[in-house]
Structure 1
Amino acid sequence: MGHVRDRRYAPRGQDDVLRLLAAHPFAWLVSAGGEDAAFTPLPLRAECDAAGHLVALRGHLARRNPHVARLRRDGRAQALVMGPQAYVSASWLDDRTQAPSWNYVAAMFDLDVVVSEEPEAIRGELDALVTQMEAGRPGAWGLADMGERYARLASGVSALRGTVREVRATFKLGQDEARHDFAQLLAGLQGAGEASLVAWMQAFAGDAEAGGERA
Protein backbone atom coordinates (compact mmCIF):
# COMPACT_ATOMS: atom_id res chain seq x y z
CA MET A 1 0.00 0.00 0.00
CA GLY A 2 1.44 3.30 -1.12
CA HIS A 3 1.37 5.22 2.15
CA VAL A 4 1.57 2.29 4.52
CA ARG A 5 5.13 3.04 5.66
CA ASP A 6 4.50 6.75 6.19
CA ARG A 7 4.02 7.07 9.95
CA ARG A 8 1.79 10.12 9.50
CA TYR A 9 -0.89 7.87 8.06
CA ALA A 10 -0.62 4.98 10.50
CA PRO A 11 -3.61 3.90 12.61
CA ARG A 12 -3.53 5.24 16.15
CA GLY A 13 -3.84 1.69 17.42
CA GLN A 14 -5.57 -1.63 16.82
CA ASP A 15 -8.96 -0.14 17.69
CA ASP A 16 -8.88 1.87 14.46
CA VAL A 17 -8.39 -1.32 12.45
CA LEU A 18 -11.20 -3.08 14.32
CA ARG A 19 -13.50 -0.10 13.79
CA LEU A 20 -12.71 -0.19 10.07
CA LEU A 21 -13.55 -3.90 9.86
CA ALA A 22 -16.80 -3.46 11.79
CA ALA A 23 -17.97 -0.53 9.67
CA HIS A 24 -16.79 -1.92 6.31
CA PRO A 25 -16.84 -5.72 6.53
CA PHE A 26 -17.16 -6.32 2.77
CA ALA A 27 -13.66 -7.11 1.51
CA TRP A 28 -11.70 -8.73 -1.31
CA LEU A 29 -10.12 -12.07 -0.45
CA VAL A 30 -7.17 -12.48 -2.82
CA SER A 31 -5.14 -15.59 -3.63
CA ALA A 32 -2.69 -14.34 -6.23
CA GLY A 33 -0.24 -16.25 -8.40
CA GLY A 34 -0.55 -19.42 -10.44
CA GLU A 35 -3.17 -20.60 -12.90
CA ASP A 36 -5.80 -20.90 -10.17
CA ALA A 37 -5.44 -17.37 -8.81
CA ALA A 38 -8.71 -16.39 -7.15
CA PHE A 39 -10.35 -13.15 -6.07
CA THR A 40 -13.61 -13.17 -4.10
CA PRO A 41 -15.62 -10.30 -2.57
CA LEU A 42 -17.13 -11.34 0.76
CA PRO A 43 -17.93 -10.11 4.29
CA LEU A 44 -15.27 -10.74 6.93
CA ARG A 45 -15.41 -10.49 10.71
CA ALA A 46 -12.65 -9.83 13.23
CA GLU A 47 -11.78 -12.49 15.79
CA CYS A 48 -9.95 -11.27 18.89
CA ASP A 49 -8.35 -13.28 21.67
CA ALA A 50 -9.14 -12.97 25.37
CA ALA A 51 -6.81 -9.97 25.63
CA GLY A 52 -8.61 -8.20 22.79
CA HIS A 53 -5.88 -8.65 20.20
CA LEU A 54 -6.86 -9.30 16.60
CA VAL A 55 -5.89 -12.88 15.75
CA ALA A 56 -8.00 -13.89 12.73
CA LEU A 57 -10.60 -12.95 10.16
CA ARG A 58 -13.62 -15.18 9.68
CA GLY A 59 -16.06 -15.56 6.83
CA HIS A 60 -17.67 -17.98 4.43
CA LEU A 61 -17.63 -18.88 0.74
CA ALA A 62 -19.95 -20.74 -1.57
CA ARG A 63 -18.64 -24.29 -1.64
CA ARG A 64 -18.80 -24.32 -5.44
CA ASN A 65 -16.52 -21.25 -5.63
CA PRO A 66 -13.14 -22.35 -7.14
CA HIS A 67 -11.49 -20.19 -4.49
CA VAL A 68 -12.24 -22.90 -1.94
CA ALA A 69 -10.08 -25.42 -3.81
CA ARG A 70 -7.31 -22.84 -4.12
CA LEU A 71 -7.37 -22.20 -0.38
CA ARG A 72 -7.20 -25.92 0.31
CA ARG A 73 -4.09 -26.12 -1.88
CA ASP A 74 -2.52 -22.92 -0.58
CA GLY A 75 -4.04 -21.12 2.39
CA ARG A 76 -1.89 -18.02 2.06
CA ALA A 77 -4.14 -15.11 1.06
CA GLN A 78 -4.69 -11.41 1.54
CA ALA A 79 -7.84 -9.57 2.55
CA LEU A 80 -8.21 -6.04 1.20
CA VAL A 81 -10.57 -3.68 3.03
CA MET A 82 -11.51 -0.22 1.76
CA GLY A 83 -13.14 2.20 4.16
CA PRO A 84 -14.47 5.70 3.52
CA GLN A 85 -12.70 7.55 0.71
CA ALA A 86 -13.20 10.67 -1.38
CA TYR A 87 -11.58 13.05 -3.82
CA VAL A 88 -10.28 16.18 -2.05
CA SER A 89 -10.70 19.18 -4.33
CA ALA A 90 -8.22 22.05 -4.28
CA SER A 91 -11.18 24.26 -5.21
CA TRP A 92 -12.14 24.26 -1.53
CA LEU A 93 -8.92 26.05 -0.57
CA ASP A 94 -8.09 29.75 -0.56
CA ASP A 95 -4.69 28.82 -1.96
CA ARG A 96 -5.50 27.52 -5.44
CA THR A 97 -1.83 26.74 -6.16
CA GLN A 98 -2.24 23.59 -4.10
CA ALA A 99 -3.02 20.28 -5.77
CA PRO A 100 -6.07 18.06 -5.23
CA SER A 101 -5.67 14.81 -3.33
CA TRP A 102 -7.56 11.76 -2.15
CA ASN A 103 -8.27 10.88 1.46
CA TYR A 104 -9.04 7.31 2.39
CA VAL A 105 -8.92 4.51 4.93
CA ALA A 106 -7.74 1.06 3.81
CA ALA A 107 -6.09 -2.06 5.18
CA MET A 108 -4.43 -5.24 3.94
CA PHE A 109 -4.44 -8.39 6.06
CA ASP A 110 -1.94 -11.14 5.28
CA LEU A 111 -3.63 -14.43 6.20
CA ASP A 112 -3.18 -18.16 6.57
CA VAL A 113 -6.65 -19.47 5.70
CA VAL A 114 -8.25 -22.78 6.67
CA VAL A 115 -11.63 -23.76 5.21
CA SER A 116 -14.12 -26.08 6.85
CA GLU A 117 -17.31 -27.92 5.91
CA GLU A 118 -18.05 -28.91 9.51
CA PRO A 119 -21.71 -28.10 10.24
CA GLU A 120 -20.88 -26.48 13.60
CA ALA A 121 -18.25 -24.23 12.05
CA ILE A 122 -20.62 -23.17 9.26
CA ARG A 123 -23.55 -22.46 11.56
CA GLY A 124 -21.32 -20.62 14.01
CA GLU A 125 -19.96 -18.37 11.27
CA LEU A 126 -23.32 -17.64 9.63
CA ASP A 127 -24.95 -16.97 12.99
CA ALA A 128 -22.16 -14.62 14.09
CA LEU A 129 -22.29 -12.66 10.82
CA VAL A 130 -26.07 -12.32 10.91
CA THR A 131 -25.95 -11.26 14.58
CA GLN A 132 -23.35 -8.59 13.78
CA MET A 133 -25.20 -7.22 10.76
CA GLU A 134 -28.70 -7.35 12.28
CA ALA A 135 -27.70 -5.69 15.57
CA GLY A 136 -29.94 -2.74 16.40
CA ARG A 137 -32.46 -3.41 13.62
CA PRO A 138 -36.16 -3.42 14.54
CA GLY A 139 -37.42 -7.00 14.30
CA ALA A 140 -33.88 -8.29 13.74
CA TRP A 141 -33.69 -11.43 11.61
CA GLY A 142 -31.97 -14.63 12.78
CA LEU A 143 -31.02 -17.98 11.29
CA ALA A 144 -33.84 -19.68 13.18
CA ASP A 145 -36.29 -17.75 10.99
CA MET A 146 -35.23 -19.90 8.02
CA GLY A 147 -36.53 -23.08 9.53
CA GLU A 148 -35.89 -26.09 7.29
CA ARG A 149 -34.43 -23.90 4.53
CA TYR A 150 -31.28 -23.38 6.61
CA ALA A 151 -30.00 -26.93 6.01
CA ARG A 152 -30.17 -26.48 2.23
CA LEU A 153 -28.30 -23.19 2.45
CA ALA A 154 -25.62 -24.49 4.79
CA SER A 155 -24.91 -27.50 2.59
CA GLY A 156 -23.50 -25.16 -0.05
CA VAL A 157 -21.26 -23.13 2.25
CA SER A 158 -17.66 -23.44 3.44
CA ALA A 159 -16.57 -21.57 6.57
CA LEU A 160 -13.14 -19.95 6.63
CA ARG A 161 -10.75 -18.72 9.29
CA GLY A 162 -7.71 -16.68 8.32
CA THR A 163 -5.00 -16.37 10.96
CA VAL A 164 -3.60 -12.84 10.72
CA ARG A 165 0.11 -12.80 9.93
CA GLU A 166 0.43 -9.07 9.29
CA VAL A 167 -1.71 -5.94 9.00
CA ARG A 168 -0.80 -2.99 6.81
CA ALA A 169 -3.21 -0.10 7.21
CA THR A 170 -3.32 3.44 5.83
CA PHE A 171 -5.44 6.19 7.36
CA LYS A 172 -4.73 9.15 5.06
CA LEU A 173 -6.96 11.74 6.67
CA GLY A 174 -5.34 15.13 6.16
CA GLN A 175 -2.67 14.72 8.82
CA ASP A 176 -0.25 16.75 6.66
CA GLU A 177 -2.59 19.73 6.18
CA ALA A 178 -2.19 23.08 7.93
CA ARG A 179 -5.02 23.88 10.36
CA HIS A 180 -6.59 26.54 8.10
CA ASP A 181 -6.51 24.30 5.02
CA PHE A 182 -7.76 21.32 7.01
CA ALA A 183 -10.85 23.27 8.14
CA GLN A 184 -11.63 24.29 4.55
CA LEU A 185 -11.24 20.72 3.30
CA LEU A 186 -13.52 19.43 6.06
CA ALA A 187 -16.18 21.95 5.03
CA GLY A 188 -15.84 20.96 1.39
CA LEU A 189 -16.13 17.25 2.11
CA GLN A 190 -19.08 17.80 4.42
CA GLY A 191 -20.83 19.75 1.67
CA ALA A 192 -20.10 16.91 -0.76
CA GLY A 193 -21.89 14.45 1.51
CA GLU A 194 -18.79 12.61 2.73
CA ALA A 195 -19.90 12.49 6.37
CA SER A 196 -18.18 9.18 7.17
CA LEU A 197 -14.79 10.37 5.92
CA VAL A 198 -15.24 13.68 7.74
CA ALA A 199 -15.89 11.83 11.01
CA TRP A 200 -12.64 9.86 10.63
CA MET A 201 -10.71 13.06 9.82
CA GLN A 202 -12.13 14.87 12.83
CA ALA A 203 -11.31 11.95 15.14
CA PHE A 204 -7.68 11.82 14.03
CA ALA A 205 -7.33 15.61 14.12
CA GLY A 206 -8.78 15.71 17.63
CA ASP A 207 -6.20 13.24 18.89
CA ALA A 208 -3.39 15.15 17.20
CA GLU A 209 -4.51 18.44 18.73
CA ALA A 210 -4.76 16.83 22.16
CA GLY A 211 -1.16 15.72 21.75
CA GLY A 212 -0.01 19.10 20.49
CA GLU A 213 0.98 17.74 17.09
CA ARG A 214 -1.07 19.94 14.71
CA ALA A 215 0.40 23.21 13.50
Structure 2
Amino acid sequence: MFIPKDFKVEDQQRLLQFIENNSFGILFSHDEDGPHATHLPFILKNADTPELIGHMAKANPQWNNIDGKKVLAVFSGPHSYISASWYKEKKNVPTWNYIAVHVKGTIEIFTEEEELMSILQQSVDFYEKGFETPWEMENEPETVSRLLNGIVGFRIKIDSIEGKWKLNQNKSTENKEEVIKNLRKQDIYDSHQIASLMEEEIK
Protein backbone atom coordinates (compact mmCIF):
# COMPACT_ATOMS: atom_id res chain seq x y z
CA MET A 1 0.00 0.00 0.00
CA PHE A 2 1.33 3.44 -0.90
CA ILE A 3 1.49 5.47 2.32
CA PRO A 4 2.89 9.03 2.37
CA LYS A 5 4.65 9.67 5.68
CA ASP A 6 1.94 12.07 6.92
CA PHE A 7 -0.63 9.26 6.81
CA LYS A 8 1.43 6.33 8.06
CA VAL A 9 0.49 4.65 11.36
CA GLU A 10 3.16 2.39 12.81
CA ASP A 11 1.75 1.69 16.28
CA GLN A 12 1.19 -2.07 16.00
CA GLN A 13 -1.25 -2.23 18.91
CA ARG A 14 -3.34 0.50 17.31
CA LEU A 15 -3.37 -1.43 14.03
CA LEU A 16 -4.32 -4.69 15.74
CA GLN A 17 -7.13 -2.95 17.61
CA PHE A 18 -8.39 -1.54 14.30
CA ILE A 19 -8.48 -5.02 12.76
CA GLU A 20 -10.40 -6.36 15.74
CA ASN A 21 -12.93 -3.53 15.45
CA ASN A 22 -13.22 -3.83 11.65
CA SER A 23 -12.81 -7.56 11.23
CA PHE A 24 -14.81 -8.04 8.03
CA GLY A 25 -12.13 -7.82 5.34
CA ILE A 26 -11.07 -9.09 1.94
CA LEU A 27 -8.64 -11.97 1.37
CA PHE A 28 -6.56 -11.52 -1.79
CA SER A 29 -4.43 -14.18 -3.44
CA HIS A 30 -3.01 -14.95 -6.88
CA ASP A 31 -2.37 -18.12 -8.84
CA GLU A 32 -1.97 -19.24 -12.45
CA ASP A 33 -5.65 -18.43 -13.07
CA GLY A 34 -5.17 -14.84 -11.95
CA PRO A 35 -6.21 -12.82 -8.90
CA HIS A 36 -8.80 -14.00 -6.36
CA ALA A 37 -10.65 -12.11 -3.64
CA THR A 38 -13.14 -13.21 -1.00
CA HIS A 39 -15.02 -11.07 1.54
CA LEU A 40 -14.69 -12.74 4.94
CA PRO A 41 -14.83 -12.19 8.69
CA PHE A 42 -11.43 -12.67 10.31
CA ILE A 43 -10.63 -13.44 13.94
CA LEU A 44 -7.45 -11.84 15.24
CA LYS A 45 -5.44 -13.98 17.62
CA ASN A 46 -3.56 -11.26 19.45
CA ALA A 47 -0.80 -13.19 21.17
CA ASP A 48 2.95 -12.54 21.10
CA THR A 49 2.82 -13.49 17.42
CA PRO A 50 -0.50 -12.21 16.02
CA GLU A 51 -2.29 -14.27 13.39
CA LEU A 52 -5.61 -14.26 11.58
CA ILE A 53 -7.96 -17.23 11.49
CA GLY A 54 -11.19 -17.84 9.61
CA HIS A 55 -13.06 -20.09 7.24
CA MET A 56 -14.54 -20.02 3.75
CA ALA A 57 -16.84 -22.18 1.66
CA LYS A 58 -15.26 -25.38 0.36
CA ALA A 59 -16.95 -24.61 -2.98
CA ASN A 60 -14.87 -21.41 -3.22
CA PRO A 61 -11.94 -22.22 -5.56
CA GLN A 62 -9.67 -19.62 -3.96
CA TRP A 63 -8.44 -21.99 -1.26
CA ASN A 64 -7.36 -24.78 -3.66
CA ASN A 65 -3.93 -23.41 -4.54
CA ILE A 66 -2.96 -21.08 -1.70
CA ASP A 67 -1.79 -23.36 1.12
CA GLY A 68 1.67 -22.15 2.16
CA LYS A 69 1.46 -19.09 -0.14
CA LYS A 70 1.69 -15.37 0.57
CA VAL A 71 -1.68 -13.62 0.80
CA LEU A 72 -3.02 -10.14 1.53
CA ALA A 73 -5.90 -9.29 3.86
CA VAL A 74 -7.38 -5.80 3.58
CA PHE A 75 -9.46 -4.13 6.29
CA SER A 76 -11.32 -0.89 5.60
CA GLY A 77 -12.64 1.65 8.05
CA PRO A 78 -14.67 4.85 7.71
CA HIS A 79 -14.26 6.91 4.54
CA SER A 80 -15.69 10.06 3.03
CA TYR A 81 -15.36 12.38 0.04
CA ILE A 82 -13.68 15.73 0.72
CA SER A 83 -14.62 18.68 -1.51
CA ALA A 84 -11.93 21.16 -2.45
CA SER A 85 -14.48 23.93 -1.83
CA TRP A 86 -14.20 23.24 1.90
CA TYR A 87 -10.60 24.47 2.14
CA LYS A 88 -9.81 28.07 3.01
CA GLU A 89 -7.14 28.37 0.33
CA LYS A 90 -7.45 27.70 -3.36
CA LYS A 91 -5.01 25.42 -5.24
CA ASN A 92 -6.47 22.34 -3.61
CA VAL A 93 -8.29 19.47 -5.25
CA PRO A 94 -11.04 17.10 -4.06
CA THR A 95 -9.86 13.98 -2.26
CA TRP A 96 -11.05 11.06 -0.16
CA ASN A 97 -10.29 10.59 3.51
CA TYR A 98 -10.19 7.03 4.83
CA ILE A 99 -8.59 4.45 7.08
CA ALA A 100 -7.23 1.14 5.83
CA VAL A 101 -4.99 -1.63 7.13
CA HIS A 102 -3.18 -4.22 5.00
CA VAL A 103 -1.93 -7.49 6.42
CA LYS A 104 0.53 -9.69 4.55
CA GLY A 105 1.29 -13.22 5.62
CA THR A 106 1.54 -16.91 4.84
CA ILE A 107 -1.70 -18.87 4.79
CA GLU A 108 -2.24 -22.41 6.04
CA ILE A 109 -5.36 -24.32 4.97
CA PHE A 110 -6.86 -27.08 7.11
CA THR A 111 -9.88 -29.35 6.86
CA GLU A 112 -9.65 -31.38 10.07
CA GLU A 113 -12.89 -31.40 12.06
CA GLU A 114 -11.25 -30.47 15.36
CA GLU A 115 -9.58 -27.39 13.83
CA LEU A 116 -12.77 -26.35 12.04
CA MET A 117 -14.81 -26.67 15.23
CA SER A 118 -12.30 -24.49 17.03
CA ILE A 119 -12.52 -21.81 14.32
CA LEU A 120 -16.31 -21.83 14.40
CA GLN A 121 -16.42 -21.67 18.20
CA GLN A 122 -14.01 -18.74 18.31
CA SER A 123 -16.02 -16.94 15.64
CA VAL A 124 -19.30 -17.46 17.47
CA ASP A 125 -17.79 -16.39 20.79
CA PHE A 126 -16.40 -13.21 19.23
CA TYR A 127 -19.42 -12.07 17.23
CA GLU A 128 -22.14 -13.17 19.66
CA LYS A 129 -20.60 -11.57 22.73
CA GLY A 130 -22.78 -8.88 24.21
CA PHE A 131 -25.99 -10.16 22.62
CA GLU A 132 -28.95 -10.50 24.97
CA THR A 133 -29.56 -14.05 23.74
CA PRO A 134 -26.37 -15.26 22.07
CA TRP A 135 -26.58 -18.19 19.66
CA GLU A 136 -24.69 -21.26 20.84
CA MET A 137 -23.29 -24.04 18.70
CA GLU A 138 -24.29 -26.67 21.23
CA ASN A 139 -27.94 -25.97 20.51
CA GLU A 140 -27.62 -26.86 16.80
CA PRO A 141 -25.30 -29.90 16.62
CA GLU A 142 -26.77 -31.30 13.38
CA THR A 143 -26.63 -27.93 11.63
CA VAL A 144 -23.04 -27.39 12.73
CA SER A 145 -22.08 -30.90 11.61
CA ARG A 146 -23.48 -30.24 8.13
CA LEU A 147 -21.66 -26.91 7.97
CA LEU A 148 -18.31 -28.56 8.70
CA ASN A 149 -18.60 -30.56 5.48
CA GLY A 150 -18.94 -27.39 3.46
CA ILE A 151 -16.07 -25.26 4.75
CA VAL A 152 -12.30 -25.11 5.01
CA GLY A 153 -10.40 -23.26 7.69
CA PHE A 154 -7.32 -21.10 7.41
CA ARG A 155 -4.65 -19.49 9.52
CA ILE A 156 -2.55 -16.55 8.34
CA LYS A 157 0.81 -16.10 10.03
CA ILE A 158 1.32 -12.35 9.85
CA ASP A 159 4.52 -11.05 8.25
CA SER A 160 3.67 -7.35 8.19
CA ILE A 161 0.89 -4.88 9.00
CA GLU A 162 0.56 -1.49 7.29
CA GLY A 163 -1.84 1.23 8.38
CA LYS A 164 -2.97 4.35 6.55
CA TRP A 165 -4.97 7.06 8.32
CA LYS A 166 -5.62 9.66 5.56
CA LEU A 167 -7.24 12.48 7.53
CA ASN A 168 -5.86 15.72 6.04
CA GLN A 169 -2.79 15.60 8.30
CA ASN A 170 -0.91 17.47 5.55
CA LYS A 171 -3.27 20.46 5.79
CA SER A 172 -3.29 23.42 8.17
CA THR A 173 -5.39 23.31 11.34
CA GLU A 174 -7.65 25.97 9.86
CA ASN A 175 -8.28 23.88 6.77
CA LYS A 176 -8.89 20.76 8.82
CA GLU A 177 -11.42 22.58 10.98
CA GLU A 178 -13.27 23.75 7.86
CA VAL A 179 -13.34 20.20 6.50
CA ILE A 180 -14.65 18.89 9.82
CA LYS A 181 -17.39 21.54 9.89
CA ASN A 182 -18.52 20.61 6.39
CA LEU A 183 -18.34 16.88 7.06
CA ARG A 184 -20.72 17.40 9.97
CA LYS A 185 -23.25 18.85 7.51
CA GLN A 186 -23.20 15.74 5.31
CA ASP A 187 -25.21 12.56 5.61
CA ILE A 188 -23.40 10.49 2.99
CA TYR A 189 -20.55 8.00 3.25
CA ASP A 190 -19.05 7.99 6.77
CA SER A 191 -18.72 11.75 7.00
CA HIS A 192 -19.47 12.07 10.72
CA GLN A 193 -17.05 9.31 11.68
CA ILE A 194 -14.30 10.86 9.57
CA ALA A 195 -14.99 14.23 11.21
CA SER A 196 -14.59 12.66 14.65
CA LEU A 197 -11.36 10.94 13.66
CA MET A 198 -9.98 14.21 12.29
CA GLU A 199 -10.85 15.93 15.57
CA GLU A 200 -8.92 13.27 17.45
CA GLU A 201 -5.89 13.80 15.18
CA ILE A 202 -5.98 17.57 15.81
CA LYS A 203 -5.96 16.96 19.58
Same fold per superposition (TM over 0.5):
yes
Query: What is the aligned partner in structure 2 of residue 45 from structure 1?
Result: 43
Question: Which stretches in structure 1 are left out of the alignment for 5+ residues?
Answer: 207-215
**1:64 is the counterpart of 2:62:** no
Q: Which amino acid aligns with 1:35?
A: D
- CA–CA distance in 1 between the matches of 2:84 and 2:164? 22
Shift of 1:71: 1.5
Shift of 1:43: 1.0
- Structure 1 stretch displaced more, 100-109 or 74-83: 74-83
Query: What is the aligned partner in structure 1 of residue 14 from structure 2?
Result: 16
Judging changes above 3 Å, is the alpha-carbon distance between structure 1 residues 198 and 144 closer, same or farther for their aligned structure 2 residues? farther
- CA–CA distance in 1 between the matches of 2:198 and 2:13? 15
Aligned CA RMSD, in angstroms, stands at 1.9
Query: What is the aligned partner in structure 1 of residue 133 from structure 2?
Result: 139
Shift of 1:96: 4.7
Q: Which amino acid aligns with 1:32?
A: H
- CA–CA distance in 1 between the matches of 2:26 and 2:9? 20
User: TM-score when scaled to structure 1?
Assistant: 0.84
Q: For each residue in 1:143-186, what CA deviation from the matched residue of structure 2 results, as whole angstroms up to 9, or x when unmatched?
A: 22323211001221111100011122211112112111111111
User: TM-score when scaled to structure 2?
Assistant: 0.88
The number of residue pairs the alignment matches comes to 200
- CA–CA distance in 1 between the matches of 2:17 and 2:167? 15
Q: For 2:107, which of 105, 113, 119 is the aligned residue?
A: 113
- CA–CA distance in 1 between the matches of 2:200 and 2:138? 39
Query: What is the aligned partner in structure 2 of residue 170 from structure 1?
Result: 164
Query: What is the aligned partner in structure 2 of residue 92 from structure 1?
Result: 86
Query: 1:132-211 counterparts in 2 under 5 A?
Result: 132-193=126-187, 194-206=191-203
Judging changes above 3 Å, is the alpha-carbon distance between structure 1 residues 107 and 98 closer, same or farther for their aligned structure 2 residues? same
Question: Which stretches in structure 2 are left out of the alignment for 5+ residues?
Answer: none
Shift of 1:82: 1.5
Query: What is the aligned partner in structure 2 of residue 123 from structure 1?
Result: 117
Q: For each residue in 1:79-124, what CA deviation from the matched residue of structure 2 results, as whole angstroms up to 9, or x when unmatched?
A: 1222111111123334354322111111221110001112221122
Identity rate, percent: 22
Contact kept? 2:100, 2:163, Cα under 8 Å: yes
Contact kept? 1:110, 1:167, Cα under 8 Å: yes
